[in-house]
Amino acid sequence: MNDPRPARQTDQEGQEPRPLALVVCGALMREVQKVASSQGWSVDLFGVPARHHTQPPQILEAVVSMLDRIQRQYEKVVVVYGDCGTAGALDRLLEKRGVSRIPGPHCYEMYAGARYLTITQDCAGTYFVTDHLVRNWEATVLADTDPKWRDSYTATMFAGFERMVYLQQEPNDALERKALQIAESVGLPLEVQPTGLGALEERLVEVVEGTRRTQSQLP
């Protein structure tokens, strides 16, 4: 997964630096691919494994090692990640390397956009899922827990939560059914909120095209 060959390549190999690379969190890859296609960008996408989310310092290491490998080959590199619990360390690092990141603390805020604050202020006990999280629930949140611990694990993890909000990127009946099962398995009611690509698209377009820098309401 850390393979520095781009996930999608629009230019031929050449000596000249290519115009644009996006270093993308694995949890956002599908959606970023969609934005890139719809914008018609000449871009190479490089994925960083989403599993690093459980250890933010590993996000730093993985992004740096990806930049070490590819940065010189591109005129512009944009990192498509939230702060993701690095508490500003990711931004400090990117600033030193002259690389931009799309604004936002994490992908839930990016998808929910302006709605994020309202949703969390209405109910702090909100647990978000996205298309990616629903698809990869077993491997990510359950971390492939031994079935004999699963119930007590999820009971400990989700104690105090009041609802699950599914920030849905794309209508998909099968995923919606799975989201419902997931919510039931952790004892939470499910609310589906279609977001599309939310603020992710807008922020990405602005950073890539170097236009007005969108601010998230949150760091």
Partner 1 sequence: MSDLLKSLQEAILTIDEETALKVTQELLDSGMEPEEILESGMTEALLELGRRWNCGEAFLPEVVAAAGIFERCSAIVEPALMAKADRKVSDKAIIATVKGDLHDLGKNIVGAMMKTVGLEVHDLGKNVPTEKIIEAVKELQPKLIGLSALLTTTMPEQENVIKALEEAGLRSAVKVMVGGAPVTQEWADRIGADGYAPNAPEAVRVALELTQVAA
Bridge partners of 27? none
The helix-helix angle for 29-39 and 198-209 (nearest 10°) equals 60
Residue 56 as a binder of ligand B12 (CB under 6 A): the answer is yes
Residue 85 as a binder of ligand B12 (CB under 6 A): the answer is yes
Q: Minimum Å distance from CB 49 to partner 1? A: 11
Out of 93, 157, 190, 192, the only residue in the binding site for ligand B12 (CB under 6 A) is 157
Q: Minimum Å distance from CB 41 to ligand B12? A: 26
| Dihedral sign, Cα of residue 169, residue 91, residue 25, residue 151 | negative
Taking contact as CB under 8 A, which single stretch among the options 4-12, 94-102, 141-149, 184-192 is the one that binds partner 1?
Answer: 141-149
Q: Are 205 and 39 in contact (CB under 8 A)?
A: yes
Residue 215 as a binder of ligand B12 (CB under 6 A): the answer is no
Q: Which contacts (CB < 8 Å, 24+ apart) does range 58-66 have?
A: 59/25, 59/84, 59/86, 59/90, 60/86, 60/89, 60/90, 60/93, 62/2, 63/23, 63/90, 63/93, 63/94, 64/93, 65/2, 66/2, 66/4, 66/23
Residue 12 as a binder of partner 1 (CB under 8 A): the answer is no
Residue 65 as a binder of ligand B12 (CB under 6 A): the answer is no
74 vs 128 by CB, closer to ligand B12: 128
Residue ranges binding partner 1 (CB under 8 A): 54-56, 58, 83, 85-88, 105, 109, 120, 124-125, 142-146, 149-150, 152-153, 156-157, 160-161, 218-219
